[in-house]
A and B are shown apart, each in its own frame.
Chain A
Amino acid sequence: EDQVTQSPEALRLQEGESSSLNCSYTVSGLRGLFWYRQDPGKGPEFLFTLYSAGEEKEKERLKATLTKKESFLHITAPKPEDSATYLCAVQANQGGKLIFGQGTELSVKP
Chain B
Amino acid sequence: KAGVTQTPRYLIKTRGQQVTLSCSPISGHRSVSWYQQTPGQGLQFLFEYFSETQRNKGNFPGRFSGRQFSNSRSEMNVSTLELGDSALYLCASSPRDPRTDTQYFGPGTRLTVL
A residues with a Cβ closer than 8 A to B are: 31, 34, 36, 41-46, 49, 87, 89, 91, 95-103
Contact = CB atoms under 8 A, between A and B. Distances in A.
B99 interface: yes
Interface residues of B, number: 27
B59 to A, nearest CB: 11
A43 B108 contact: yes
Interface stretch (B40-48, B64-72, B73-81): B40-48
A42 to B, nearest CB: 6
Contacts, number: 58
- The interface residues of chain B, by DSSP majority, are classed as strand
Contacts of B97: 96
A101 B37 CA distance: 12
B48 A97 contact: yes
